[in-house]
């Protein structure tokens, strides 16, 4: 007889949501998290989108440690001298709060406590080495030579799925599967943040940026999110381009982003409170491994469940939804035909009937657009030249818009036919 009905590896949103769901179903659950305290190893950009957490915690908006709700959303293209921004804010976000900025150290500690309160056994500061097998069936986990047995295991270990790789149930990560995420949390007074971002109490800003001013062909995006009395700022850098460049360091890119003339004034007099780096899942559908087997399932970032279409970056909602789906699959298997690879195939069916895998399929191949030469190397400069052509008053006769655009395209070396083709591809993928 197994020591536990289920073991969940990883105490992030996926793992804790799974543990809460399993414990609520009166199963004997062990949640193992390598960080102590939970959340200290996470480098999330910091926005929890959607309402997936209500599946295990209906009152989460009132009880969870949320920083600000997203009232204002921005997208920017940065050149060396300029920022071309698209900004959207709506009073409708006051009524339906679609996203909240969070600090993962606070949120993950809260979620781990909730899992413990629900009845799960929570162990932190312990690193699982690999899955334990009996033949081809997973019978638990192995840690430092000891085996802890369970009827089922959910791997929710994050973007670096070392246990899954070392256990031979997924291939090692490739450069195109991940990016490098580097994040700082910068302390600033609440009033200063409100004034600089035109916000009121509890209102927040979430912005993503294309860093079109970097040298050496390195492609990277930036993010900036407001918390109550701090700013989460960071970059997501293409692993492939960083390796090919072989002379640019990730921390240099963070500093360049912080010192950009459009960003630096927002951070003035701020003090860095945290600094961290981690891999970020970027591979989309192509990098998702087999999600289940005889006795195990993979959820959250470990399964490659993150979403980016260049306008939106999301991950925590996918993690929560997949963790709940994995837990429900175990509950159904134990009360039905029993745990087997066939019964765990219901997990993938559940994900296919939810936004998790539907989004992965809908936006298949989007990385070819978001990590492409047009977006990172050419578009920022083209937009800058168009805007300067429209707004720079130099005493010369004004030109038609089409002439300005043609000159901007010519100076970039990009043919209009190529732009139309790439624009069409972008439209289809996005």
Instruction: Name the pLDDT band for 234 (thresholds 50, 70, 90).
Output: very high
The pLDDT assigned to 424 comes to: 65
CATH class of 176-281: alpha beta
Q: What is the mean pLDDT of the chain?
A: 92
- The CATH homologous superfamily for domain 4-65+104-171+289-353 is FAD/NAD(P)-binding domain (3.50.50.60)
Of the candidates 42, 37, 41, the residue with the CA atom closest to the CA atom of residue 124: 37
Q: Is the pLDDT of residue 162 over 90?
A: yes
Separation between Cα atoms, residue 151 and residue 135, nearest integer Å:
14
Cis peptide before 37 (omega within 30 of 0): yes
The pLDDT assigned to 240 comes to: 84
Q: How far is CA 91 from CA 63, 101, 261, 352, 390, in A?
A: 23, 18, 30, 33, 31
pLDDT digits (tens, 9 = 90+) for 323-349: 999 999 999 999 998 999 999 999 999
- Section 306-327 average pLDDT: 90
Residue of higher predicted confidence among 310 and 280: 280
pLDDT digits (tens, 9 = 90+) for 33-51: 998 888 877 766 689 999 9
Domain with CATH 3.50.50.60 in the chain: 4-65+104-171+289-353
The Cβ of residue 174 has, within 10 Å, a number of other Cβ atoms equal to 12
Of the candidates 412, 423, 3, 418, the residue with the CA atom closest to the CA atom of residue 212: 412
Residue of higher predicted confidence among 80 and 423: 80
Q: 51 by DSSP, 3-state: which?
A: coil
Q: What angle do CA 101, 297, 282 make, to 5 degrees?
A: 45
- Section 179-204 average pLDDT: 96
State residue 403 phi and psi, 5-degree precision. -70, -40
The pLDDT assigned to 375 comes to: 81
pLDDT digits (tens, 9 = 90+) for 85-126: 999 999 999 989 999 999 999 999 999 999 999 999 999 999
Strands 99-102 and 137-143: unpaired
CA dihedral 405, 410, 413, 418 (to 10 degrees): 50
Domain with CATH 3.30.9.90 in the chain: 176-281
């Amino acid at each position: 007889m197994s020591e536990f009905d289920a073991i969940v590896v990883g105490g992030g949103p996926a793992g804790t949501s799974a543990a809460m769901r399993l414990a609520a179903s009166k199963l004997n659950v062990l949640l193992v998290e390598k960080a102590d305290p939970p959340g200290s190893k996470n480098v999330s950009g910091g926005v929890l989108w959607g309402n997936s957490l209500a599946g295990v915690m209906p009152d989460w908006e009132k009880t969870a440690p949320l920083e600000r709700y997203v009232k204002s959303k921005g997208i920017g293209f940065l050149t060396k001298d300029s920022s071309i921004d698209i900004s959207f804010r709506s009073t409708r976000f006051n009524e339906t709060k679609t996203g909240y900025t969070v600090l993962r150290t606070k949120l993950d500690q809260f979620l781990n406590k909730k899992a413990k309160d629900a009845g799960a056994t929570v162990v932190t500061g312990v690193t699982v080495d690999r899955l334990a097998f009996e033949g081809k069936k997973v019978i638990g986990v192995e840690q430092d030579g000891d085996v802890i047995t369970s009827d089922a295991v959910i791997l929710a270990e994050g973007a670096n799925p070392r246990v899954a790789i070392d256990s031979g149930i997924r291939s090692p990560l490739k450069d195109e599967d991940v990016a490098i995420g580097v994040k700082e949390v910068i302390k600033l007074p609440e009033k200063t943040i409100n004034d600089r971002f035109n916000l009121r109490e509890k209102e927040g800003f979430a912005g993503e940026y294309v860093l079109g001013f970097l040298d050496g062909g390195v492609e990277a995006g930036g993010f900036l999110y407001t918390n109550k009395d701090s700013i989460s700022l960071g970059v997501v850098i293409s692993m492939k381009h960083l390796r090919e460049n072989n002379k640019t360091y990730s921390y240099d890119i963070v500093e360049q982003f912080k010192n950009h003339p459009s960003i630096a004034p927002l951070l003035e007099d701020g003090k860095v409170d945290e600094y961290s780096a981690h891999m970020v899942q970027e591979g989309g559908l192509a990098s998702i491994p087999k999600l289940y087997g005889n006795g195990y399932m993979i959820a959250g970032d470990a399964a490659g469940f993150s979403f980016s279409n260049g306008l939106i970056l999301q991950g925590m909602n996918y993690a929560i939804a997949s963790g709940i789906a994995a837990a429900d699959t175990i509950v159904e298997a134990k009360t039905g035909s029993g745990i087997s690879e066939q019964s765990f195939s219901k997990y993938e069916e559940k994900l296919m009937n939810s936004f998790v895998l539907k989004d992965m399929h809908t936006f298949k191949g989007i990385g070819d657009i978001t990590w492409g030469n047009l977006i990172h190397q050419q578009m920022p400069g083209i937009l800058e030249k168009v805007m300067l052509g429209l707004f720079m008053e130099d005493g010369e006769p004004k030109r038609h818009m089409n002439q300005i655009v043609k000159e901007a395209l010519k100076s970039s070396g990009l043919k209009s036919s190529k732009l139309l083709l790439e624009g069409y591809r972008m439209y289809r993928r996005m």
